[in-house]
Chains A and B, each alone.
Chain A
Amino acid sequence: MSEARKNFIEGIRAEAPLLIGVFPFGMIYGALALNAGLSNAAAQWMSSIVFAGSSQFVTAQLVKESAPGLVIILTIAVVNLRHMLYSASLAPHLKDLSLRWKALLSYLLTDEAYAPSILYFEKEGLQTHKHWFLLGAGFSLWFTWQVSTAFGIFLGASIPANLSLDFALPLTFIAMIVPVLKKQPTIAAASSAGVTALLAYNLPFKLGLILAAFVGIIVGTLLEGKK
């Protein structure tokens, strides 16, 4: 098997457990979007044009409240601001790719595609075809998101709300991050970010998440610098 194909399949495999958690989210989004008054087509197209779960939920909510378009757009921007951190973090790994590849991978860059990919990149180091891993992870997530949205639109209100399958999402993140927590600055970065996320939980637009990430990054960097 070629190196590219191997990485692509590795990416899908790493993404698979996350997909279990993403599927119910996509269905709930589809049902909520219809409930908020979006047409079937608008609900479905938002999943492929915006392709960012939490901002889609917020958009549905704001449409329901008849918020002005400009407010919705600004909210989408702020909710998705954390992706800029992912963009920076992946930049060194993707720098030798063509612009077309960079654009494609940027379009697919979500929380769920970023997490397994960056950990894989950091483990594997320099390797020519590793971006195929991100493509595999990103594409399988994209596909699942489109299908689950369609299911949600189709099934509408008849979706069982409490299957707890969404718990697969934090569980997968736990399985990814715990083995990486080896050195003291990394552990301190994770702990301080976790505590900040709790303290700042009530901030709107996921700003608590961004603030927590910054606190963790600064704590980790400072501790590393001290050594």
Chain B
Amino acid sequence: MNIWLVIMIGGLITFGIRFSLIYLLGEGKFEIPETLRKALHYVPPAVLSAIIVPELFIRDGNFDLSLTNTRLLAGIIAIVTAWFSRNTLLTILVGMAALFLLQWLSL
């Protein structure tokens, strides 16, 4: 199949997925049931945690709990910073600084 056709159809499908429930649940065609409304509330913590955790624990495809896993250590420092400061920018700066420092120390 022509690569342009693949890109066009891939783009259409991606758009369709993103548009699907914004359209179906939003046009008043369906009433959103109470349980679903409750459940949707947990999408952000669940999805974000599912994105973050492997980024910290998995290095080069393997589970890594060792002290040489600088991303895990820097991530924990960032989590503690976020918990106490509730400040986005500070959390990112401390996390990045921790990562650079740890990488430098382990060189």
Point out residues on A near B: beta carbons under 8 Å.
14, 17, 38-39, 42, 45-46, 49-52, 55, 59, 63, 68-70, 72-73, 76-77, 80-92, 94-95, 97, 99, 102-103, 105-107, 109, 111, 115, 118-119, 122, 164, 167-181, 185-187, 189-198, 201, 208-209, 212-221, 224-225
Q: Is B46 touching A87 in the complex (CB atoms < 8 A)?
A: no
Query: Which B residues touch A198, using CB under 8 A?
Result: 53-54, 57-58, 63
Within the complex, the shortest CB–CB distance from B18 to chain A, in Å, comes to 4
Q: Is B44 touching A177 in the complex (CB atoms < 8 A)?
A: yes
B1-32 interface with A by 8 A CB criterion:
1-11, 13-15, 17-28, 32
Within 8 Å by CB of B45, from A55, A90, A190, A224, lies: A190
Interface membership of chain B positions 40-53, coded 1 if the CB is closer than 8 angstroms to chain A and 0 otherwise: 11111111111111
Query: Whole-angstrom distance between the alpha carbons of A190 and B53 in the complex?
Result: 10
Within 8 Å by CB of B47, from A82, A102, A172, A201, lies: A82
Within the complex, the shortest CB–CB distance from A53 to chain B, in Å, comes to 11
Q: Which 6 A-B pairs have the closest CB atoms?
A: A69-B1, A216-B46, A220-B42, A194-B53, A49-B11, A178-B82
Q: Is B43 touching A213 in the complex (CB atoms < 8 A)?
A: yes
Q: With A72-B6, A89-B40, A217-B42 given, is the CB distance from A193 to B99 under 8 Å?
A: no
Q: Point out which of A86, A99, A174 has the most chain B C-beta atoms below 10 A from its C-beta.
A: A174
Q: Is B47 touching A91 in the complex (CB atoms < 8 A)?
A: no
Closest to B57 in A: A198
Closest to B100 in A: A164
Query: Whole-angstrom distance between the alpha carbons of A213 and B95 in the complex?
Result: 25
Query: Which A residues touch B37, using CB under 8 A?
Result: 92
Query: Whole-angstrom distance between the alpha carbons of A111 and B87 in the complex?
Result: 21
Query: Whole-angstrom distance between the alpha carbons of A103 and B100 in the complex?
Result: 41
Q: Is B52 touching A194 in the complex (CB atoms < 8 A)?
A: yes
Within the complex, the shortest CB–CB distance from A23 to chain B, in Å, comes to 14
Within the complex, the shortest CB–CB distance from A210 to chain B, in Å, comes to 8
Q: With A51-B11, A107-B18 given, is the CB distance from A209 to B88 under 8 Å?
A: no
Query: Which A residues touch B63, using CB under 8 A?
Result: 198, 201
Within 8 Å by CB of A46, from B7, B27, B32, B82, lies: B7
Q: With A72-B6, A89-B44, A198-B57 given, is the CB distance from A17 to B92 under 8 Å?
A: yes
Q: With A17-B89, A76-B13, A106-B15 given, is the CB distance from A193 to B46 under 8 Å?
A: yes
Q: Is B39 touching A217 in the complex (CB atoms < 8 A)?
A: yes
Q: Is B25 touching A220 in the complex (CB atoms < 8 A)?
A: no
Q: Is B7 touching A50 in the complex (CB atoms < 8 A)?
A: yes
Query: Which A residues touch B56, using CB under 8 A?
Result: 170
Closest to B11 in A: A49
Within 8 Å by CB of A91, from B21, B78, B99, lies: B21
Q: Is A173 touching B52 in the complex (CB atoms < 8 A)?
A: yes
